[in-house]
Structure 1
Amino acid sequence: MSRVRLVPIVLIAVLVLAVLFGGWQAYEHFNMVTPLKRDLQQVEGVQMVNVSSGNPEIIDVQLGPFSKLKNGDLQQTYNDLENQISAKLGADVTPHLLDNRNKVLTQAMESFNPALLQGIDKSNYTTMIAQVTNEAKKQGIQCRITMDRQYIYIQLAKGKYYLYTVMPYTTRQGGAAS
């Protein structure tokens, strides 16, 4: 009977695993990440894309000012981004938007949050939009708010700075029963 040598078997196993892992990384990079980056950079308003592979996927998307967005609308640009991402990676991955915010816009957004959250809670969207838009106008901030079935899209701009926020909202469906 021949003896099985442990060292060569372990070395071969490690080598095979390294080749398989390297092959998967190359496949992921050349067949998933690179085409996705290329497709996302074609969306109007996108200045830069960074795709970090892993679980979950992290996709940072740097957007330009209002004038660079598709029809000046965050909602349309965001929908194009989501469509590209879901076609390549599935619906569970969402883009992380990067903008050019400053302290003034950040503080304004923080001050708008109570009105936004109250509007969502009470499903009083027209009043919410009017309150936030009027308050932004008082502060000299350009404001645009749009909605669809999933998100509220908030665009703020003042001077060369701009802020984009996509807020998910839920309607009162389901819940605990006693």
Structure 2
Amino acid sequence: MKLKLLPVFTTMIVTAALLFGGWYLYEHTAVERPLVKAIGSLPGVESVKPVVGTDTVTVNLTLGSDADLRSLYEEIAEKGKNAIGGRKLNLDITSESSAKLDQIWSGELFTIAEAMESRRYSEIPAAMEKLERTHKGLVVTSDMDDKNVYITMKLDSAVKYIVLPRIGDKIGVWPGA
């Protein structure tokens, strides 16, 4: 039996296109679109773009100055539970930060890193209060749940959102810090 190459290759290409096209369509309609719909309506969210991986779902967010980071994370995890499934949820947050806010955060990074590494989380609000006292007009809020520490820094019209995982990676730097 001699096979003709053109029909075999054509069948392989059509089958691959159908499989990958179906997978892409499923990811877009069953995972990404429900996440965008659920997250886009949350207060403080200006734009949302989920990136779905095999083990993680990274949600790229642009937040306004009135977002409550902890409740936002909880609502995203709850509303997106079906779409996220057993994957890890990561937030990649973009906000209107400023060079001054970044400089203030960088100056306090060693204190925060030490508190996170030694699991003395109660030192973080004290460090944030110290920052508020030393920098006029700075408003800092810190919050925590069983997964992350959330810090929001506001100075004038600039806002910096920081999410620090309580159980960090073995090697690397905190994302978004």
TM-score bin, normalised by smaller chain: 0.7 to 0.9
Q: Which has the higher strand share?
A: 2
Does the C-alpha gap of structure 1 residues 128 and 15 become closer, same or farther in structure 2, counting only changes over 3 Å?
A: closer
- Structure exhibiting the larger radius of gyration computed from Cα positions: 1
| Equivalent-residue separation in structure 2 for 1:92 and 1:122 (angstroms) | 24
Alignment of 1:141-160 (within 5 A): 141-160=138-157
In the alignment, is the contact (CA less than 8 A) between 1:50 and 1:61 conserved in 2? yes
Looking at structure 1, the residues matched to 38 and 127 of structure 2 have their Cα atoms a distance apart, in angstroms, of 37
Q: Tell me which protein shows more helix as a share of its residues.
A: 1
Contact 2:57/2:88 (CA < 8 Å) preserved in 1? no
- 1:123 and 1:81 map into 2 onto residues whose CA distance is 26
Residue pair 2:141, 2:153 contacting (<8 A) in 1 also: yes
DSSP 3-state at the match of 1:93: strand
Percent identity, aligned pairs only, is 21
Output the aligned Cα RMSD.
2.1
Say if 2:128 and 2:141, in contact at 8 Å, map to a contact too. no
Taking the aligned partners of 1:75 and 1:41, their CA distance within structure 2 comes to 16
Which residues of structure 1 form unaligned runs of 5+? Answer: 172-178
**Structure 2 gaps, min length 5:** 169-177
Runs (4+) off by over 6 Å: none
Normalized against structure 2, the TM-score is what?
0.82
Q: Does the Cα contact within 8 Å between 2:149 and 2:165 map onto a contact in 1?
A: yes
Structure 1, 123-132 or 150-159: larger mean CA deviation: 123-132
1:53–1:150 distance in 2 versus 1, CA, 3 Å: closer
Q: Is the CA contact 2:30–2:83 (under 8 Å) kept in the aligned structure 1?
A: no
Distance in 1 separating the partners of 2:27 and 2:115: 42
Q: Which amino acid aligns with 1:82?
A: A
Aligned length in residues: 165
- In the superposition, the TM-score normalised over structure 1's length comes to 0.82
